[in-house]
């Protein structure tokens, strides 16, 4: 009988205030979506158990504050991370342009043992806003972000549960 030991993986979600980090986390973990905005102060986390092939993983997903005044509270939570999710709003060029800053700050604060190969996931969020007519960051631009090829690019519609599972 195969081992059913769980492996804990710490995932940090970063991005500007209002890009939908909390909504993505809540939708992925709890399958709940809310249009109401409430700023995260410091950091919060939820856990989700997932199975990949024959292994069980407990994802400890940390939602961090995007507002500048709370960012210093969140950096203590970066250490020990196994993955970092960078989120931007496809309707905000500024949030997209800030991704490299978030990435660099994360690498400085988290000090991973192998920063060149640290896994990042890039998510373009809110493509469902205004029927997609407000989009200013094209998919082509997003995929040419200039980040290492090991990073994964996803665009999500947060209200469609099946796309965030």
The pTM assigned to this predicted structure is: 0.79
Whole domain around residue 83: which residue ranges?
Answer: 6-164
Within 8 A by CB and 6+ apart from 24, the residues are 13, 85, 87, 123, 125, 156, 158, 164
- What is residue 33's predicted lDDT score, i.e. its pLDDT? 63
For residue 1, being part of any structural domain is answered with no
d(CA 162, CA 134): 23
For residue 110, being part of any structural domain is answered with yes
Within 8 A by CB and 6+ apart from 7, the residues are 55, 56, 57, 58
d(CA 45, CA 2): 30
Q: What is the mean pLDDT of each run of 10 residues along the chain (165 residues)?
A: 75 91 86 64 78 89 67 70 93 94 91 91 84 80 63 49 38
Q: Is 19 left (phi over 0), alpha (psi -120 to 50) or beta?
A: alpha
Residue 130 DSSP code: G
- What is residue 134's predicted lDDT score, i.e. its pLDDT? 83
**Pairing assessment for the beta strands 55-64 and 120-125 based on DSSP bridges:** unpaired
For residue 57, being part of any structural domain is answered with yes
* Cβ–Cβ under 8 Å, residues 162 and 116: no
Q: What total number of domains does the chain contain?
A: 1
For residue 96, being part of any structural domain is answered with yes
For residue 119, being part of any structural domain is answered with yes
For residue 43, being part of any structural domain is answered with yes
Tokens at 107, concatenated: 């690498």
* Residue 89 CB neighbour total at 10 angstroms: 23
Signed CA dihedral, 135, 70, 108, 116: sign only: negative
- What is residue 91's predicted lDDT score, i.e. its pLDDT? 93
CATH of the domain at 160: 3.40.50.300
- What is residue 85's predicted lDDT score, i.e. its pLDDT? 93
pLDDT in tens, 15-29: 998 898 888 888 888
């Amino acid at each position: 009988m195969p081992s059913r030991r769980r492996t804990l993986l710490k995932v940090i979600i970063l991005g500007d205030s209002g890009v939908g980090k909390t909504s993505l986390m809540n939708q992925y973990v709890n399958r709940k979506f809310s249009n109401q905005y409430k700023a995260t102060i410091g950091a919060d986390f939820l856990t989700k158990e997932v199975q990949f092939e024959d292994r069980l993983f407990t994802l400890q997903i940390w939602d961090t504050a995007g507002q500048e005044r709370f960012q210093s509270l969140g950096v203590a939570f970066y250490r020990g991370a196994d993955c970092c999710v960078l989120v931007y709003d496809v309707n905000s060029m500024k949030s997209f342009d800030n991704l490299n800053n978030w990435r660099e700050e994360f690498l400085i604060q988290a000090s991973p043992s192998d920063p060149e190969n640290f896994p990042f996931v890039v998510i373009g969020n809110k493509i469902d806003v205004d029927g997609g007519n407000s989009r200013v960051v094209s998919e082509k631009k997003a995929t040419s972000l200039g980040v290492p090829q090991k990073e994964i690019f996803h665009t999500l519609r947060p209200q469609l549960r099946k796309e965030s599972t």
